[in-house]
Chains A and B, each alone.
Chain A
């Protein structure tokens, strides 16, 4: 069934959108939220489990102090108040990948509450108010086998991997975001992007949307334009890329408008986002009948972070990523486009470190967003995961600057770095990559080129200096690219003048 949609601009003529975002951040603690099991991504199924995270009878939880610390740091970075005393609560519902059939979460006593984040959209600032950020544990992961799409419908059987069960999560919930109008999709995207940057800067999560370490649920409702009311919302689950956040908001706005225009009511429900087709489909109905029967977790004692500790943690907060970006852009003289590309490629830190090692901003940008971004892309990783350090890049550029390497040779040095052949200087020496500017060797090669291309030589003698390029190419070929091109040109012109 295809949804009827209203053109985006027409939606705005009749309705005001209200957004709400719930972002789950998987923390990068060494152990799980309530037990000592490791949290490494991608391990063999059901190898990182124990009685507690499997929910075996009798097992009990113990709160991971590092996770509490990360939660508080996230809250402080989002300008939240930090609870002096708060409890965990049980959220009761049955699902095969829930080991205890309740999730240990927080209910009416979140550890962080009442914060905000200022989000930049095309030079305009939107204040997104944060309702709460609370701690909870992740569930296991169901794998449905035999169905066409990996969904439970039509599956032959299901497997459950409990490695993910008990991984610490922080759920960050916004208050309704109103007044964004046509920019609602952009505000949603920019909020998640900026939140991700903040999480990266805090160092509390791998922050990989593609691996699910940041997952966004998008709530959206429409109300009659100017009415100031809030309409019925839908919650689109697990929107796992920035682009999808924007598209999902756009899609739901168009879909809601069509339903409302037809005089029908929006069903309060959970919807699934389909990355491939760019549409949402109905999930389970989220009626008021769904009752999680929350009550305080009796196996845990309250979390009561001392004010001294909170202030100590406030002192560990990194520079606000937005402010830092503006500062670096000014220092480096990057254009808006260059800066956006730099951030998008996750190259901000490595470029900063390369510049600190003595390279000019433009040269650092050229390598990291050019050659190295290409290689990172081939490997499906971010540039900071490559086996090349900012110090390596700075050294390669220094060799180029002093004339020992050209760009082509520099790329061969990177080949050597990827192959683990040592430092840039060791690779240059071992591979014999240094540029030859010694006149003796170059002179012979120039003579050979002139002899092999008498017609070109004649043109140059006739004053057609531009033809020298063909002879330079021949020399470079003979010298396997290691000739100093400038000196070769000088020698050709000397010999044919």
Chain B
């Protein structure tokens, strides 16, 4: 049961071969079996999930299913507000907070009938690339429990990779869906900015955040994307246009014909020299093989240069902390979450200070300080203002590149999963793991990461990133599904983590 894809589970439910309760129970059993080792979940809602599953089965019996995925269980990153379920964002400062409302994404999952298994682990407030910054302990990579599952959405990716859930929701501010997808051998999609509502997504950096699907196949991501996407009047930045036909694009891509498609290989992100550096040899080797498979499927490959991308990381680390420093100001112990009294008759300001000191981790404090500085009077123009200008240049690089290519491709992450603790004391080294994913967030364009094999040197998963112009998410699905089909044929089946390591 648990190794089935969401599409397969949905088909089995539709055919009456299984029930949502059985499918949900199987995943809850799997969580009980392996999550002690993996620690993908911060909170498991067995009772709620089974109740929603029973309702789904009743709907199906009455011929009133709500969507193609009705009854297929899902895990949700702990950064999305869930009514009645704890929502901590991986932070001590929100310990015990139970939101009184659902994020729009969660509301849409419920409306489509997907039972919610629980909330997944993440770097505190989504700040990190390894899930080691969670205040509740790290998540481990199902491929090697001594290694990181990526971040910030390591919990969602690991849950899907370890068959604890067929589907999960992630959020991607600089790669937090795609990079964990790459290092756990799963599929992750960052939709076009504004394509999925951010209402109820606890903001890290509002102008960069996007929620999206975390799955094991491209088709499953498309199915989930169609459930959660589309205009939401509660999010002013949400796009008021119908979604492109994503499932159809994935199915068309899986047929394998990419004739006429122009694939742009980004110079700065595909070789050791001449741009961004630090690429692992095995990552580049798998990348090149995937490009060759696209050519075999009929695509034309062009090399495109995006010179501003080398400044993307610096730009990102000014804009993100600036927005985050302001977003996180609301955590002041006045209305919800942790409250620390430094002494019995402390003033409100003293309680705020003591709570924030105890409730925020070091990485969060680091970024609050960076952002506060970048927005300060006298420094704003030099830092935040300048970063916005570079951001515009990066968007222009994308515009020019998409004149010459229908999609752009690169490795998703420069390396495979590193060891837990390896980069914890070196923030810059940690940040560099997102250098290939960040440009898409700065420009608001969609991207997908598809498993591209295992690196020769360590046998760990690598990811292939496909980027498309804003609103053309369907291209990511078409090309992603074509590559996935070609690779599955080559491998003779999906790559799965070695089971013996999980128990």
- Interface residues of chain A, those whose CB is within 8 Å of chain B, are 51, 54-63, 90, 92, 94, 96, 99-102, 158, 160, 291, 293-295, 298-301
Contacts and interface: CB of A to CB of B under 8 A. Distances in A.
A101 B200 CA distance: 18
Interface string B179-209: 0000000000000000000111111011100
Interface of B: 80-81, 87, 89, 94, 97, 99-101, 103, 198-203, 205-207, 233-237, 322-323, 325-326, 329-332, 334-336, 348-349, 352, 372, 375-377, 380, 384
B375 A57 contact: no
7 contacts: A58-B202, A60-B235, A92-B325, A92-B326, A293-B325, A295-B380, A299-B203
B236 A300 contact: yes
Contacts of B326: 90, 92, 102, 293, 295
A60 B197 CA distance: 10
Contacts of B336: 56-57
Contacts of B329: 92, 94, 100-102
Nearest to A156: B345
Contacts of B348: 96, 158
Contacts, number: 101
Contact of B236 (A51, A61, A102, A158): A61
Contact of B97 (A57, A90, A298): A57
> Which 7 pairs across A and B sit closest by C-beta, in order of nearness?
A101-B329, A298-B206, A293-B375, A298-B207, A58-B200, A57-B202, A58-B81
Nearest to A162: B335
Contacts of A96: 332, 334, 348
A44 to B, nearest CB: 18
Given A51-B101, A295-B322, A299-B203, A58 B80 contact: yes
Nearest to A291: B377
Nearest to B378: A291
Contacts of B81: 51, 56-58
A60 B103 contact: no
Most chain B CB inside 10 Å of its own CB: which residue of A54, A59, A62: A59
B108 to A, nearest CB: 15
Contacts of B334: 96, 160
Nearest to A50: B101
Contact of A60 (B97, B198, B384): B198
Given A62-B236, A295-B322, A99 B335 contact: yes
Contacts of B199: 58-60
Contact of B237 (A59, A90, A160, A301): A301
B94 A58 contact: no
Nearest to B97: A57
Given A57-B97, A299-B206, A94 B377 contact: no
A62 B104 CA distance: 14
Given A56-B99, A101-B330, A298 B202 contact: no
A55 B205 CA distance: 16
B101 A100 contact: no
A301 B235 CA distance: 10
Most chain B CB inside 10 Å of its own CB: which residue of A61, A63, A101, A293: A293
A51 B291 CA distance: 47
Nearest to A92: B326
A92 B377 CA distance: 12
Nearest to A36: B234
Contact of A100 (B206, B235, B330, B380): B330
Contacts of B203: 58, 299
A298 B384 CA distance: 13
Most chain A CB inside 10 Å of its own CB: which residue of B87, B94, B199: B199
A56 B331 CA distance: 9
A37 B426 CA distance: 46
Given A58-B99, A299-B203, 11 more contacts: A54-B335, A56-B99, A56-B101, A57-B89, A57-B331, A58-B80, A94-B329, A101-B332, A293-B326, A293-B380, A298-B207
A107 B118 CA distance: 42
A298 B94 contact: no
Nearest to A100: B330
Contact of B233 (A62, A90, A160): A62
Nearest to B235: A60
Nearest to A101: B329
A101 B333 CA distance: 12
A57 B236 contact: no
Contact of A55 (B99, B235, B237, B335): B335
B130 to A, nearest CB: 23
Given A96-B348, A293-B376, A298-B206, A60 B236 contact: yes
Contacts of A51: 81, 99-101
B50 to A, nearest CB: 26
A100 B349 CA distance: 15
Contacts of A57: 81, 87, 89, 94, 97, 99, 202, 330-331, 336
